[in-house]
Chain A
Amino acid sequence: MDESDTEPPLVVVPGADPSARQLCFAWGPAEVLVCETLFGRAGGSCFRCLSRSPSPSRFWGEGWVGAAARALTGSVAGTGEGAPSSSRVFVVRRDQDIYIQTLRKLFNESHGIFMGLQRSEEELAGKSRKAQLVQVSKNYRSVIRACMEDMHQAAVSTRDSALQGQYSTQVSILSAMELIWNLCEILFVEAAAAGPLLLRLLDWVRLHVCDVDSMVREVLSSESPSKHKLFWNVVDVFVLQGRMDEARHLLSKEASANPTSMNMYKILDDLMKKMPVPSLGNTQTLTELELKWQHWHEECQRYLQDGTFASNPHMESICKILLGDEDAILEKKELMTTWYHFLVTRLLYSHPTVKPLELRFYAQSSIDLFLGGESSPEPLDMILMAAFEFEMHQVIKECSIVLSNWWFVAHLTDLLDHCKLLQSHNLYFGSNMREFLLLEYASGLFSHHSLWQLGVDYFDHCPEYGRVYLELHIERIPLSTEQKALKVLRICEQRQMHEQVRSICKIMAMKALRNNRLGSALSWSIRAKDAAFATLISDRFLKDYCERGCFSDLDLIDNLGPSMLLSDRLTFLGKYREFHRLYGEKRFPEAARLLLTLMTAHIAPCSFWMTLLTDALPLLEQKEVIFSAEQTYELMRCLEDLTAGNPDKQKFQDDDVETTKVEMLRLALARNLARVIVKEGTVERS
């Protein structure tokens, strides 16, 4: 991955014909839009040139090319339905596997494991930490297996042959993934030492070489297994896989049917029973084992040389296998089916105490012997080979190229990183490999209409670029309902992404405003603490009031509480409504005081002063005197300010209605002043 050693693969967009028209494109974080232009064909096709060109962008250069070989799929977004003149737009997505329904189970379940791993205690030292990591690895594998079973079920139950083929392909991909993961678990995560290493490898082979299982079942379930034509094959399978007890059990049946050769069977049975195997506990040292093994080996050798088994070719070949005779083992090629089975069998009978670092030599010679130059190794073989060579980066690189999803490499790399196995392997881009792969995987999740929620947690665990990626992606989530918006908002708020919080609230407020839901719109802008927008909505409320003479959405405006302080206009709206309430409740002195404050403290916008003054009219005309002398002077000053200092002065004079209003106000103010002087004078004297 760290060098551009492979040419970027071609991307075929089904339906787009670069020979007829030039294509143009635009790329986003997760998708590429390709569209046909009006230009006719001139020179080479756009798209091909582009994907051949050396990395024009980060996304294209690394992310896309890594994934492109397998994952680009074209789907027609907007089509002109066959009309030759119309242009079409294709949406090209990179991670095709994301869209497979059954795999969603894999993504969701492994997300839980991933999160558990990130939370797990780093403090646990030595053995318990290793046990913990091995457990995590096993959990991942069991999810793969469960998914494989589901996929298998789906393949069996479907009647659509194309779909069936698709499912079967997925089953084989999943099983390859599990095979690789298991080997990595043994070699890297558990890092089994000489001795136990062989036992683990045997388990690995038994678990994954399943081609012979049906044959074994058939023979074992037949009436008399020993008469079955495949009997010896099954015995061989058991021996090759080191399943001694099962092999001996079968042999004992054959022995009881052939009393004449009983002795021969007994000797072989004895040899198989006595074969020393490494133990998992610390009960014996490697040297002890080697010593015992040497003895046993010599004993086998003796029996073979003195011709004990000469009368029975089957048993003779088993004895040869026990001795680790490569030719004898290779004869059973069909029963082993794979070179890594051959490798493990060979190790079992000739190098049971193989050390991890010696594996590479045996692996190399095994693959050469097994394939015998007839066929070249396939990608899977190369990956396993790299694992045997302890080339972790090579394993990850090959997997990235071959597998059709980012899931595998991202999770495996993360696990290996937690095992502290990936030294800061610096890439020439981004931060490190773990983060790079996690980012790619999570970006794929975000391109999915439903799985985006999983992606968030992956970004969270990318220390360097995770946040930036999240910010870019989260803004592109379509907010179809308020509930979804709330979920996205929660994600942003938890991470203090203020910019995104504001933009989401603004989008929702705009939507509400378009739908004439002023109350909702105001709620959203209050949540975003968006003063400008709150002002805009408050103005709408006031405009509605001026037009209709009553307020809408009283339940909201009456309950603004402290959020009223968000913008001046909102404060005014709340206070103005309060004035109306006080007036309605006939608490005139309080209402009057509030009204005056709205103007003198410049809370009310100037354009609204006339309305406020008009509102003062009925208060001035009340039987009781409400405004004090001082308040009346203030009101007069407000009126004069409005008529004199206002640049719209001209308008007032032109407009008859306005002039009448002003005249009426002046009259009312004068009368009120007269009354109040009399009243205040009277009170003071008494």
Chain B
Amino acid sequence: MEDVSAKFVSQKISRTRWRPLPAAALQPPDVFATGSWDNEDNRVSIWSAGDLGNAGLNGEYHGEPHLLCDIQHNGDVMDMQFLDQERIVVASSTGTVTIFRHHQNNQTLSANHRWEKAHYHVDQDTSCGGAACTGVVCNNPEIVTVGEDGRINLFRADQKDAVRTIDNADSSTLHAVTFLRTTEILTVNSIGQLKIWDLRQQRNEPSQIFSLAGDRVPLHCVDRHPNQQHIVATGGQDGMLSIWDIRQGTMPVSLLNAHEAEMWEVHFHPSDPDHLFTCSEDGSLWHWDTSTNVSEKPSFLHQGGRSTAYLSHSTINQSVVSAWLSNDPTKDRMEITNLIPNQTLSVNSLDVLGPCLVYGTDAEAIYVNRQLFA
């Protein structure tokens, strides 16, 4: 594909994240962050997606991503998320959670705040024994982290100590976390369970447990539908995509055969949730499209106009209810495309925002696709 630009970066990429756009922005995102893993020294880096000044006549972008700044990071970057325009929260395999600040005027990164060993085995004070922090999610100013120690931490960006810690929240490893509502979170673990936690309750028990029947296949990632909060997507070790309706039942509504190996990330498109993206250890990245009729597809994505998007919201939602939750065998209405043919090494992370997709691989390359819906 000619509209994808790639860059080999000499480090294995574990996470890629677009910087969120300011509320009134019309232009596509142009800055993203990456984290590396399995290096002797790992780094958190901020990149510019390509030279906007070089935009050709047809709006094509030339030039590969270039590095704005980077900073050394202790341990593998396990997960990261932007807290706001400037701050980024990074989870480390050492169990430490760090907030880095990106100073945009002089293009530098600095550690803003650090919770040492937020996740740990046995004893927090000993010199060793940190447990990998596997997932982080932010809803400014709140930060929730989960880890291999089965612990859930709730931090606030401005407070030194954890606001709330649930020790032994899970007997197995927690792999990922996301916000369901402002006070509720969703976690997935290594024995195929999806749990809802209500942070208002003082009880250290999940308010609901959902699980895969049978084989207890570990779940690795979770994302919630941006508009309809009861629709949740998870990805498992066998590459299966599960769609859950958390209003009913304890089992997934549909199981969709997808990748051949671990699904590392799943993301609904934030403004066009008819589209879903998944990436996997088998080196593929899939685009799931449930917008039933191509001609009906709202075209706001290409124009980037917010007003059109707002107007067409209700109609989109209608189609989505039937699309993601439909239980009948009309799966053929879903259009699935593999965006990376011939890739061999794992795609560890992806992020979508507006018409742009960024993903990073174990082949030490980052890719930016700026015309997803072209």
Partners in one complex: yes
| Interface residues in chain A, defined as those with a beta carbon under 8 Å from any beta carbon in chain B | 101-102, 104-105, 108-109, 111-112, 115-116, 119, 449-450, 453-454, 457, 480-484, 486-487, 490, 494, 515-520, 523, 552-556, 559, 561-563
27 contacts between A and B (CB under 8 A): A108-B365, A109-B8, A111-B344, A119-B342, A449-B38, A450-B11, A450-B39, A481-B78, A481-B93, A482-B132, A483-B37, A486-B262, A487-B362, A494-B261, A516-B122, A517-B149, A519-B191, A520-B173, A523-B172, A523-B173, A554-B171, A555-B172, A555-B191, A556-B191, A559-B216, A561-B214, A563-B216
B121 touches A556 (CB 8 A): no
Residue pair A480, B76 in contact (C-beta under 8 Å): yes
Among B39, B192, B281, the residue within 8 A (CB) of A449 is B39
Q: A519 to chain B: which residues have CB within 8 Å?
A: 150, 170-172, 191
A490→B122 contact, CB < 8 A: no
Q: With A482-B173, A516-B122, A555-B209 as given contacts, are A111 and B363 in contact (CB-CB < 8 Å)?
A: yes
A516 pairs with B121, CB closer than 8 A: yes
B95-128 CB contact bits vs A (8 Å, 1 = yes)? Answer: 0000000000000000000000000011000000
CB proximity of A115 to chain B, nearest CB, Å: 5
Which one, B76, B121, B345, contacts A481 given CB within 8 A? B76
Say how far B121's CB is from chain A's closest CB, in angstroms: 4
- The answer to whether residues A559 and B132 also contact, given A116-B342, A450-B11, A450-B40 and a CB cut-off of 8 A, is no
List the A side residues contacting B8 at CB < 8 Å.
Answer: 104-105, 108-109
Contact status A559-B78, CB under 8 Å? no
Residue pair B148, A457 in contact (C-beta under 8 Å): no
Q: Is the CB of A482 within 8 A of B148?
A: yes
Asked, given contacts A450-B39, A520-B148, A556-B172, whether A487 binds B132 with beta carbons under 8 Å apart, the answer is no
- Interface membership of chain B positions 163-205, coded 1 if the CB is closer than 8 angstroms to chain A and 0 otherwise: 0000010111100000000000000001111000000000000
Q: Say whether chain B's binding surface is mostly helix, strand, loop, or mixed.
A: loop
Contact A523 B281 (CB under 8 A): no
The answer to whether B132 touches A490, judged by C-beta atoms less than 8 angstroms apart, is no
Q: Does B328 contact A (CB under 8 A)?
A: no
Cβ of B10 and Cβ of A520 under 8 Å apart? no
Complex alpha-carbon distance, A101 and B43, angstroms: 14
Cα separation A562 to B129 with both chains bound (whole Å): 33
State the Cβ distance, A555 to closest chain B Cβ, in Å. 6
B11 proximity list for chain A (CB < 8 A)? 104, 450
Output the least CB separation between B171 and chain A (Å).
3
A483 partner residues in chain B, CB cutoff 8 A: 37, 76, 78, 132, 134
Considering the chains assembled together, what is the distance between the CA atoms of A115 and B76 in angstroms?
27
| Residues of the B chain whose Cβ atoms lie less than 8 Å from the Cβ of A105 | 8, 10, 364
Which of A101, A454, A515, A554 has a CB less than 8 Å from the CB of B121? A515
**B344 and A115 form a contact (CB under 8 A):** yes
Q: Which of B10, B211, B218, B237 meets A101, CB within 8 Å?
A: B10
The residue on A at minimum CB distance from B192 is A559
Looking at the complex, which one of A450, A481, A482, A487 makes contact with B346 (CB distance below 8 Å)?
A487
Bound-complex Cα distance A556 to B364 (A): 37
- Measured CB to CB, the closest approach of chain B to A619, in angstroms, equals 28
User: Is residue B2 contacting chain A, with contact meaning CB distance below 8 A?
Assistant: no
Q: For chains A and B in complex, what number of residue pairs have CB atoms within 8 angstroms?
A: 123
Most buried by A among B149, B172, B362: B172
Known A115-B344, A481-B93, A515-B121; judge A561-B216 contact (CB<8 A): yes
Which chain A residues border B346 with CB–CB below 8 Å? Answer: 453, 487
Is there a chain A Cβ closer than 8 Å to B370's Cβ? Answer: no
Q: CA of A482 to CA of B150 in the docked complex: distance in angstroms?
A: 13
Q: How far apart sit A382 and B55, CA to CA, in the bound complex (Å)?
A: 49
Q: Which residues of B contact A563 (CB under 8 A)?
A: 216
Tell me whether A515 and B122 are in contact (CB under 8 A): yes
Inter-chain CA distance A101–B335, complex, in Å, is: 41
Most chain B Cβ neighbours within 10 Å, of A112, A483, A518 = A483
Give the chain A neighbours of B170 by CB distance below 8 A: 519, 555
Q: Is the CB of A453 within 8 A of B362?
A: yes
Complex CA distance for A487 and B261, rounded to whole angstroms: 10
Contact yes or no, A555 B193, CB < 8 A: yes
Given A112-B363, A450-B11, does the pair A515, B134 have CB atoms closer than 8 Å? no
The listed residue (B148, B171, B192) touching A518 by CB distance below 8 A is B171
Residue in chain A with minimal CB distance to B344 = A115
Q: Which residues of chain B are within 8 angstroms of A486 by Cβ–Cβ distance?
A: 237, 262
Among A450, A453, A515, contact of B131 (Cβ-Cβ < 8 Å): A515
Most buried by A among B93, B134, B173, B218: B173
Q: In the complex, which residues of chain A have a beta carbon less than 8 angstroms from the beta carbon of B158?
A: none
- Other-chain contact of A104, B10, B129, B262, B281 (Cβ < 8 Å): B10
A561 to B211, CA, bound (A): 12
Complex Cα distance, B141 from A107, in Å, reads 42
Q: CA separation between A111 and B214, bound complex, in Å? A: 39
User: Contact: A523 with B190, CB < 8 Å?
Assistant: yes
CA distance A59 to B152 in the complex (A): 49
**Interface contact A490-B281, CB-CB below 8 Å:** yes
Q: Tell me, in angstroms, the Cα distance from A562 to B237 when the chains sit together.
A: 18
Q: Interface readout for B334-348 with A: 1 if CB under 8 Å, 0 if not?
A: 000000001111100
Q: How far is the CA of A105 from the CA of B218 in the complex (A)?
A: 33
In contact, A562 and B150 (Cβ under 8 angstroms): no
Determine if B332 is an interface residue (Cβ-Cβ < 8 Å): no
Residues of A within 8 A of B93 (CB): 480-481
Chain A residues positioned under 8 Å from B73 (CB to CB): none
Assess A520 versus B262: contact at CB under 8 Å? Given A112-B344, A487-B346.
no
Q: Assuming the A-B contacts A450-B38, A450-B40, A487-B281, are A481 and B148 also in contact, with contact meaning beta carbons closer than 8 angstroms in the complex?
A: yes
Report which residue of B40, B344, B346, B363 has the largest number of chain A beta carbons within 10 angstroms of its beta carbon. Answer: B344
Residues of A within 8 A of B365 (CB): 108
Assess whether B224 is interfacial by the CB under 8 Å rule: no
Q: Which residue of B lies closest to A554 (CB)?
A: B171
B10 touches A517 (CB 8 A): no
Taking CB atoms, residues of chain B closer than 8 Å to A487 are 281, 346, 362
Q: Is B12 in contact with chain A by the CB < 8 A criterion?
A: yes
Task: Tell me the bound Cα distance from A561 to B78 in angstroms.
Answer: 30
For the complex with contacts A483-B37, A484-B37, A559-B192, 12 further pairs of A-B residues with Cβ separation under 8 Å are A105-B8, A105-B10, A112-B342, A115-B342, A449-B39, A450-B40, A453-B345, A454-B363, A482-B132, A483-B132, A515-B149, A552-B171
Residues of A within 8 A of B78 (CB): 481, 483
Interface string of B3-41 (1 = CB under 8 A from A): 000001011100000000000000000000000011110
C-alpha spacing A59/B77, complex, angstroms: 36
Which of chain B's residues has its CB closest to A556's CB? B171
* B193 lies within 8 A of A450 (CB): no
List, in ascending order, chain A residues with CB within 8 A of B209's CB. Answer: 555
* A526 nearest CB neighbor, chain B only: B216
When chains A and B are docked, how far (Å) is the Cα of A304 from the Cα of B215?
Answer: 90
Provide the bound-state CA to CA distance between A516 and B168, in Å.
Answer: 11
Q: Which of B8, B40, B76, B214 has the most CB of A within 10 A?
A: B8
B76-103 CB contacts (< 8 Å) to partner A: 76, 78, 93
The verdict on A517 contacting B150 (CB below 8 Å), with A104-B364, A553-B171, A556-B172 known, is yes
Alpha-carbon distance between A515 and B11 when the two chains are bound, in angstroms: 30
Report the minimal beta-carbon distance from A173 to chain B, rounded to whole angstroms. 18
* A480: nearest chain-B partner, CB-CB: B93
Complex partner residue of B191 from A116, A457, A523, CB under 8 angstroms:
A523
Assembled-state Cα–Cα distance A480/B77 (Å): 12
A296 → chain B closest CB, angstroms: 45
Q: How far is the CA of A416 from the CA of B141 in the complex (A)?
A: 60
Q: What is the CB-to-nearest-CB distance from A198 to chain B, in angstroms, rounded to a whole number? A: 35
CA A449 to CA B40, docked complex, whole Å: 7
Residues of A within 8 A of B121 (CB): 515-517
CA distance A102 to B209 in the complex (A): 48
Question: Chain A residue with minimal CB distance to B168?
Answer: A552
Q: B12's closest neighbor in chain A, by CB?
A: A450
What CA separation (Å) do A406 and B78 show in the bound complex? 33
Task: For residue B215, give the distance in angstroms from its CB to the closest CB of chain A.
Answer: 7
